[in-house]
Amino acid sequence: MAPKKILIVDDEPVVVTLLKVRVTSRGFLVEIATDGISALEKAKMWQPDLILLDIAMPEMDGYETCRRLKAMKETAHIPVVFFTAVQEMKLDALAQKAGAVKVIQKPFVDQVFQAISEILGSE
């Protein structure tokens, strides 16, 4: 069986590096996007099995990126998990409205793997 593909979208290099190392060490293929626009392009071309998407990014935030992913027929089926340091009262409701299946608060390493396992199954 081919390894599952995960697109990590975050503008913080330290977070991207940490997630990439951890996710690839578990046997997943990883692609990186550092902003919403490149995330849309990479998701459409690469067709990941899951997208880990930061909410707080410049230019286009995670909410808008997720809405656009869900609006494109090529990417609408891809589950999106938000991860964020943002503390909002209605974070889960906002994430669900945008189309995300789960929200994980930073620091998040264990929760990320739990979400991957829940959505993609154990590897």
pLDDT tens for 67-113 read: 999 999 999 999 999 988 767 668 788 888 999 988 887 766 666 66
Token pair 């991860």 in the structure block, residue:
83
Helix ranges, 26-108 (H): 36-46, 62-71, 91-98
Which residue, 27, 26, 23, is CA-closest to 10? 23
Select the more confidently predicted residue: 104 or 13: 13
- Residue 62 and residue 67: Cα distance in Å, rounded? 8
Q: Is the dihedral of CA 97, 68, 42, 1 positive or negative?
A: positive
- What percent of the chain shows pLDDT beyond 70? 89
Amino acid at 38: S
Based on the structure, what is the number of domains in the chain?
1
What pLDDT was estimated at residue 107?
Answer: 63
- The residue range of the domain holding 41 is 5-120
- List the CATH number of the domain containing 38: 3.40.50.2300
H/E stretch holding 14: helix 13-25
Token pair 């899951």 in the structure block, residue:
50
